Amino acid sequence: MKFDVNPGPLHWIERGDRLNPRIVFLHGFMGSSQDWVGIMDCLASDYHCLAFDLPGHGKSLGLKPAQYSMAGSANLIIEALTPPERPNSQLADLLVGYSMGGRLTLYLTLRFPQSFPQAQMISGSPGLKMEKDREARRAIDLIRCKKIENDLKSFLRFWYKQPLFASLWKTSLPERLIEQRLSNNPDELCRSLKYLGLGSQPNLWPELSSTASNLHQLAGELDPKFVAISKEMARCNSKIESRILPNLGHNIPLEDFRVTAVEIRRLMERL
């Protein structure tokens, strides 16, 4: 069953029966809910799959400045998912987020464990530990914003040429991704980068040791930076599990959506 709805400030898409266990998906920077369609279609026979357009992406545009932040984005997701008759209920059987969406996934599970007791973070991070590093990242992101505003296509080529995405170029995805990402609004992307970027994210490392949620992480073998982050996180708490996928890089959901769907199904069946 397919639903495409606009319930409020955030746009989302759905696949599957709403009576089935729910999986909620959060995309990465410059992506949209459409990035999850292949994975959702693989899972929709058994699960209710719901993917958001995060602020500044897809059809979730023109929001108030505070709503682009991590706390603001989290509150919008909570509001969109909360049934009026059950304000303190569990909102998803599994919350899945990639990269920027992975960082937001971690924030939601740490701050709202009763709503999201189980999560899968793909190529995500608890943030930068030192304020000086966050300040430096904010400065970098301001430079990136100028590039986005001046020439989005050139910025996209620069973005996907980063070592982080080297394994993507072994596929036919990059050129297609660049064309898809050109539909983004540069001003909206800059708001997202300014308020939801790594430099603006709170340092969540100190909270990992006390998390009440079960957190499952995926990192690609060809993405050593996030493999190291994933393993370090797993050492913080027995509720945090790290799983490294062979022959994949940073953007696991797009590099191999079928493998990603298998990992999510495996986790759901275990839960």
Is residue 147 within 8 Å of 155, Cβ to Cβ?
A: yes
The domain of 229 spans 2-127+203-270
pLDDT the model gives residue 227: 98
For residue 49, being part of any structural domain is answered with yes
For residue 220, being part of any structural domain is answered with yes
| Strand-pair partners of 25 | 51, 96
Does the pLDDT at position 146 exceed 50? yes
**In whole angstroms, how far apart are CA 39 and each of 80, 113, 166, 218, 265?**
22, 25, 22, 15, 10
For residue 157, being part of any structural domain is answered with no
Q: In this predicted model, what pLDDT tens digit does every residue of 8-38 receive, in sequence order? A: 799 999 999 999 999 999 999 999 999 999 9
Mean pLDDT of 190-203: 96
Does the pLDDT at position 1 exceed 50? no
Q: Return mean pLDDT, the chain.
A: 93
CA distance 142 to 140: 5
CATH of the domain at 84: 3.40.50.1820
For residue 107, being part of any structural domain is answered with yes
Q: Number of structural domains, the chain?
A: 1
pLDDT the model gives residue 88: 66
For residue 190, being part of any structural domain is answered with no
Mean pLDDT of 121-128: 97
pLDDT the model gives residue 172: 76
Q: In this predicted model, what pLDDT tens digit does every residue of 157-196 receive, in sequence order? A: 999 999 889 888 887 788 889 999 999 999 999 999 999 9
Does the pLDDT at position 2 exceed 70? no
Q: Where residue 7 falls among pLDDT bands split at 50, 70, 90?
A: low
Pairing assessment for the beta strands 2-5 and 12-15 based on DSSP bridges: antiparallel
